[in-house]
Amino acid sequence: MDIIEGIRKLGFRRWYERRLIEAHAYLVTGVLALILAVAFLELRGETAAGGERMTYLMSAVASLGGGIVAWLRYHRMLALVEWAGEQATCPACGEYGRLRLLATRPHALAGDPDSDLAAEIPLLHVACRACGNKWDIDATR
């Protein structure tokens, strides 16, 4: 679920909470994959047959790769959630997370390879549910 669909369907606070839970699930998965990689390396050292040693070594490499991918996914999702959370406070009344999505458009930096977060995040025009103030949530901030 992308940021636009998530905020429209769930509201900002629930979307934020669910993305944090999902990000931390990737973190736990990554840690478990790294533990599995170490376990395969330990098994590789105790076996005598060459075929089994190679199987355990390849399993350890695959587990390590899965752990690295999970860590990168966790880091990216956490950056997205932190970015959105930092800008979800109404500048007029200070209310946090009580916003209504008014309009969206692709970000101007979407094609820029140096701005990877802007490629994933559109420009969001939101309004505060408490006071009605309007502002933009922008990936360049």
CB within 8 A of 136, min separation 6: which ones? 123, 124, 125, 126
Provide block-wise average pLDDT over 10 residues at a time, the chain (141 residues). 82 92 97 95 77 89 97 93 89 91 71 56 86 83 55
Cα 34 to Cα 69: distance, rounded to the nearest angstrom: 11
Tokens of 132: 């009605």
Q: Given phi > 0 = left and psi -120 to 50 = alpha, else beta, which region is 72?
A: alpha
| Sequence ranges of the domains in the chain | 1-86, 91-141
* pLDDT in the model for residue 43: 84
Cα 104 to Cα 91: distance, rounded to the nearest angstrom: 19
* pLDDT in the model for residue 116: 58
Tens-place pLDDT, residues 38-48: 999 888 776 66
Element (H, E) at 127: strand 123-128
Element (H, E) at 79: helix 50-86
Helices (H) and strands (E) in the chain, counts: 4, 3
- Percent share of the chain, pLDDT over 90: 45
